[in-house]
């Protein structure tokens, strides 16, 4: 076993060296302008990013436009120690090796995804269009005090632009390979001196990234047909209060057949023995992206999918003088329907085809009332109350499983699944000296989760009580947790800021299929045939304690920056999910992994070398492994790596500005090199290793001086390297996106 005892000392020494070097950095003589500081709200109050004691990355709307990114899944290469994968079942977020695979209506993420501070509970609702974005704040590490449950890995907050007291408009069109075509527009109108309106719309379409090698002529997935709109109104209510109301709506018509067989990437799979050792092999991108699987047991159908989401939210701010009162509330709806064709490997039987029909929806309401002191005080504080309720319904119907002894229709109707959460929180900062601050925060959360549903074995598409078997899935779990945060931060110099924190995080517990014998849950009685032992039905909350030290420094007349963070996590009851055959039938289960350890180092920054030359850089080191975990009886995974946790990642970027007569050209390139990492299927004792891989993106733009229009081009994944995003226990792999490129024209008024 590798000796890791020296790592905390090494990390602390590295951060100390960073701080020392920053203190002694000398100013240069070049007259290049320093980049403008970004204000963030990571601590729920506006502050410069360089003075915020959180490891974070900020992506502005202009950055997103430059790289052609308009969904969250396209951003991961710009984020240290973060994977954002547009998986088949929604956005999969992994931060510092911590992730979640349960995208069902009873599952919870490990990282909170928010739109203008509103928590979006379902991962299927998190990869919508990024419309009229001001910035995206990605917070790494537990955020349990100010952001609440399900933030053990971190939090992502997409912050959109608000109405302004000026007339302005934007319009853009874009075209690229795979039939990509995009258009967006924005109009901001000051109606009166107190009221401003803002409207934004966008359309994003492209054809499938996959090749059909099945000979059917059907279209495959990894396509897109998104349409989105948002209307905002901001009203000044007297001199001290403001009301901001937003309404948004978006739809996506797509094909959920996003899979290929894992054999597109690996040999020595599908042998029928657990704990196999898949071996990566080289293949061109076109082969990786080709689905050749023809099911021996059932015909294929044309896959299709449609989802829609909408929401209305309100923000109210009232300056009371010594403090400001904030209210943030929203109602959101999400609906999803699809038909997909699965690849379904069953050891010792065959690799089957399975068709699934799904129909479901989700409604959520949330309210938060918070008060925070104003100004630079010796003691500043904020406190609030939070309430959340989510109600979901779903109906999964699987066909074509008769070869393994199941009936023609194997279904999971659920109505409802309900999640409730209530919390009270507070955070206090004491300015011990003008340069030294101490922070303490506490949050108390109670959660209740329940479900009423069934597992049905049907002879036809409609359940018939006379001929079909039904086993109830009914459970109720209540959990509560106190999460806290202690921190110190210090202005080492006017341009160098250091901090240290100890924080805890909490992810709610839950349940699997089945029920407790003899228990009646919401009118549903549990018979012996459906009974599951409590140890298998319920899984416990996931908790962690985090230790982190960091430094943020600006030097060389603020033309260079360096952010450093060293961290150590102790996880208990890490929640892992996957499919497994239980009682002769496939089930999706979540279990607790025991204890896991995560530690690492993150360095990133930028250098404005001259007025026309800018460099960016980043380095992450990560050791994320299980301390104790037994995925199946008698097999220990202690010391094995957590998923999507490469030991190191190195990134570098360069942008050059060239002034031409009447305009300027900007050209940039970004490269990222990742060490190997694993994607695991614990239920089959299998770990797929994704080898070390490099990726290069490029941008090119031209803007005439004093002109309202600009033109830009970009290319992503120029090497056309394809790696799997997810792999499940039945042999389905979702490949990453291929090389894409596009040209864009923007007009701003």
Domain boundaries, the chain: 7-748
Asked if pLDDT for residue 3 goes beyond 50, the answer is no
Most distant CA atoms of the chain, gap in Å: 87
pLDDT digits (tens, 9 = 90+) for 401-453: 999 889 999 999 999 999 999 999 999 999 999 999 999 999 999 999 999 99
Task: Indicate the length of the chain as a whole number.
Answer: 749
- Sign of the C-alpha dihedral computed for residues 152, 158, 164 and 166 taken in this order: positive
CA distance 68 to 474: 45
Q: How many CB atoms lie within 10 A of CB 162?
A: 18
Higher pLDDT, 534 or 213: 213
Give the mean pLDDT of 4-30: 42
Mean pLDDT of 509-527: 87
- Report pLDDT for 194: 97
Let me know the angle formed at the C-alpha of 725 by 723 and 730, rounded to the nearest 5 degrees.
Answer: 105
Cα–Cα distance, 115 to 128 (Å, whole number): 11
- According to DSSP, the residues that pair with 670 across neighbouring strands are 653, 697
Distances (CA, A) of 599 to 81, 96, 389, 641, 743: 11, 8, 34, 12, 41
The mean pLDDT value for 564-587 works out to 81
Q: What are phi and psi of 19, to 5 degrees?
A: -65, -40
Separation of alpha carbons 551 and 490, rounded Å: 10
Mean pLDDT of 547-576: 93
CA 48 to chain centre: 24
**Residue 533 — very low, low, confident or very high, per pLDDT cuts 50/70/90?**
confident
Cis, peptide link before residue 416, omega less than 30° from 0: yes
- What would the 3-class secondary structure string for 553-577 be? EEECCCCEEEEEEEEEEEEECCEEE
- Cβ(145)–Cβ(485) below 8 Å: yes
pLDDT at residue 187 tops 70: yes
More confident residue, 269 or 722: 722
Peptide bond into 118 cis (omega under 30): no
The predicted pLDDT at position 11 comes to 40
The contacts of residue 94 (CB under 8 Å, 6+ apart) are 82, 83, 84, 85, 111, 153, 643, 644, 645
- Percentages helix, strand, coil for the chain (3-state, rounded to 5) are 10, 60, 35
Of residues 162 and 19, the one with the higher pLDDT is: 162
**Alpha-carbon gap, residue 740 to 375, rounded angstroms:** 48
According to the model, what pLDDT value does residue 346 have?
80
Question: What tokens does 154 get?
Answer: 């971190």
Place of tokens 């959101």: 332
pTM: 0.91
Instruction: Kindly tell me if the per-residue pLDDT of 157 is higher than 60.
Output: yes
| DSSP reduced 3-state for 522 | coil
Give the burial class of 731: count Cβ atoms within 10 A of its Cβ; 0-12 exposed, 13-18 middle, 19 or more buried: buried
What pLDDT does 732 receive? 92
717: pLDDT strictly greater than 50: yes
Give mean pLDDT, residues 109-125. Answer: 90
CA distance 148 to 443: 7
Q: Say yes or no to pLDDT of 18 above 80.
A: no
Return phi, psi of residue 122, to 5°. Answer: -100, 130
- What is the structure's pLDDT at 30? 45
CA 355 remoteness from chain centre: 28
Mean local confidence (pLDDT), 112-119:
94
511: Cα separation from own chain's centroid: 23
pLDDT at 8: 42
- The residue ranges of DSSP E strands in 432-468, in sequence order, are 436-458
Fold of 7-748: Maltoporin; Chain A (2.40.170)
Pick from 389, 388, 392: which is nearest to 334 by CA?
392
The confidence score (pLDDT) of residue 740 equals 96
- Report whether pLDDT(42) > 90: no
Using CA atoms, how far apart are residues 159 and 114, in angstroms rounded to an integer? 8
Task: Find where tokens 């050891």 sit.
Answer: 347
Question: In the prediction, which pLDDT does 45 show?
Answer: 86
Instruction: Please tell me which of 465-469, 477-481, 616-620 the model is most confident about, judged by mean pLDDT.
Output: 616-620
Of 14-18, 136-140, 475-479, 626-630, least confident by mean pLDDT is 14-18
pLDDT at residue 529, rounded to an integer: 79
Looking at residue 44, its pLDDT comes to: 87
- The answer to whether the CB of 696 falls within 8 A of the CB of 671 is yes
Q: What is the pLDDT of residues 365-402, one digit of tens each?
A: 999 999 999 988 899 999 999 999 999 999 999 999 99
Can you spell out the DSSP letters for 88-124? TTEEEEEETTB-----STT---SEEEEETTEE---GG
> Average of pLDDT values for 525-543?
86
Segment 683-708 mean pLDDT? 93
SS3 (DSSP) at 536: helix
Greatest mean pLDDT among 75-79, 272-276, 685-689 lies in 685-689
Task: Tell me which of 15-29, 231-245, 301-315, 569-583 is least confident.
Answer: 15-29
Decide: 623 and 639 in contact? Cβ < 8 Å: no
User: Of 115, 266, 259, 199, which is closest to residue 679 (Cα–Cα)?
Assistant: 266
- Give yes or no for a contact between 40 and 52, defined as CB atoms under 8 angstroms apart: yes
Residue 26 has a pLDDT of 40
Locus of tokens 């090199």: 673
What's the whole-number average pLDDT of the chain? 90
Q: Is 50 exceeded by the pLDDT of residue 118?
A: yes
């Amino acid at each position: 076993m590798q000796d890791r005892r020296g790592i905390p000392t090494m990390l602390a020494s590295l951060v100390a060296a960073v701080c020392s070097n920053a203190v002694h950095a000398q100013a240069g003589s070049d007259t290049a302008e320093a980049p403008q500081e970004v204000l963030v709200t990571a601590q729920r109050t506006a502050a410069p990013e360089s003075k915020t004691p959180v490891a974070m990355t900020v992506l502005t709307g202009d950055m997103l436009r430059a790289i052609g990114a308009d969904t969250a899944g396209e951003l991961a290469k710009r984020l240290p120690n973060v994977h954002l994968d547009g998986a088949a079942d929604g956005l999969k977020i992994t931060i510092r090796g911590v992730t979640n695979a349960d995208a069902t209506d009873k599952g919870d993420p490990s990282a909170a995804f928010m739109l203008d501070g509103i928590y979006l509970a379902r991962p299927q609702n998190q990869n919508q269009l990024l419309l009229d974005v001001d910035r995206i704040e990605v917070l790494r590490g537990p955020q349990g005090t100010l952001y609440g449950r399900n933030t053990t890995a971190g939090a992502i907050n997409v912050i959109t632009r608000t109405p302004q007291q000026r007339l302005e408009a934007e319009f853009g069109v874009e075209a690229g390979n795979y039939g990509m075509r995009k258009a967006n527009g924005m109009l901001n109108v000051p109606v009166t001196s107190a009221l401003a309106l803002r409207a934004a719309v966008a359309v994003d379409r492209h054809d499938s990234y996959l090749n059909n090698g099945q000979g059917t002529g059907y279209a495959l997935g990894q396509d897109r047909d998104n349409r989105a709109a948002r209307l905002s109104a901001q009203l000044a209510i007297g001199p001290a209060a403001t009301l901001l109301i937003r309404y948004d709506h978006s739809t996506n018509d797509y094909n959920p057949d996003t899979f290929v067989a894992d054999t597109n990437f690996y040999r020595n799979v599908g042998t029928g023995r657990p704990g196999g050792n898949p071996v990566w092999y080289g293949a061109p991108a076109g082969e990786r992206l080709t689905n050749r699987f023809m099911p021996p047991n059932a015909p294929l159908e044309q896959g299709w999918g449609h989802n829609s989401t909408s929401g209305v939210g309100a923000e109210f701010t009232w300056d009371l003088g010594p403090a400001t009162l904030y209210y943030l509330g929203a109602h959101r709806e999400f609906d999803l329907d699809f038909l997909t064709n699965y690849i379904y490997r069953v050891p010792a039987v065959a690799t089957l085809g399975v068709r699934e029909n799904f129909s479901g929806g989700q409604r959520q309401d949330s309210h938060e009332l918070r008060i925070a002191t104003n100004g630079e005080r010796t003691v500043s504080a904020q406190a609030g109350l939070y309430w959340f309720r989510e109600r979901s319904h779903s109906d999964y119907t699987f066909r074509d499983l008769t070869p393994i002894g199941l009936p023609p229709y194997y279904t999971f109707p659920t109505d409802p699944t309900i999640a409730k959460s209530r919390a009270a929180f507070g955070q206090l900062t004491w300015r011990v000296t003008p340069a030294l601050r101490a922070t303490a925060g506490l949050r108390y959360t109670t959660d209740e989760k329940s479900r009423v549903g069934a597992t049905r074995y049907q002879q036809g598409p409609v359940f018939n009580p006379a001929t079909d078997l039904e086993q109830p899935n009914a459970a109720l779990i209540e959990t509560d947790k106190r999460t806290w945060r202690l921190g110190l931060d210090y202005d080492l110099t006017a341009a160098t800021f250091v901090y240290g924190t100890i924080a805890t995080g909490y992810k709610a517990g839950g349940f699997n299929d089945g029920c407790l014998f003899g228990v009646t849950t919401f009118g549903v009685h549990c018979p012996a045939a459906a009974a599951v032992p409590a140890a298998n039905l319920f899984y416990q909350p996931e908790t962690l304690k985090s230790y982190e030290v960091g430094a943020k420094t600006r030097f060389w007349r603020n033309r260079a920056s360096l952010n450093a963070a060293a961290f150590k996590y102790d996880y208990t009851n890490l929640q892992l999910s996957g499919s497994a055959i239980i009682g002769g039938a496939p089930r999706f289960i979540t279990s607790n992994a025991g204890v896991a350890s995560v530690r690492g180092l993150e360095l990133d920054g930028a250098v404005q070398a001259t007025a026309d030359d800018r460099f960016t850089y980043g380095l992450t080191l990560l050791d994320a492994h299980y301390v104790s975990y037994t995925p199946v009886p008698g097999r220990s995974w202690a010391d094995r790596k957590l998923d999507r946790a490469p030991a190191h990642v190195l990134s570098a970027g360069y942008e050059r500005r060239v002034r031409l007569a009447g305009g300027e050209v900007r050209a940039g390139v970004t490269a990222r090199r990742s060490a190997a990492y694993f994607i695991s299927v614990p239920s089959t004792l299998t770990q797929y290793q994704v080898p070390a891989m490099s990726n290069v993106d490029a941008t090119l733009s031209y803007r005439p001086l004093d002109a309202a229009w600009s033109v830009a081009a970009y290319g992503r994944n120029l090497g056309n390297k394809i790696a799997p995003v997810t792999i499940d226990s039945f042999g389905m792999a979702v490949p990453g996106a291929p090389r894409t490129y596009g040209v864009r024209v923007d007009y701003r008024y």
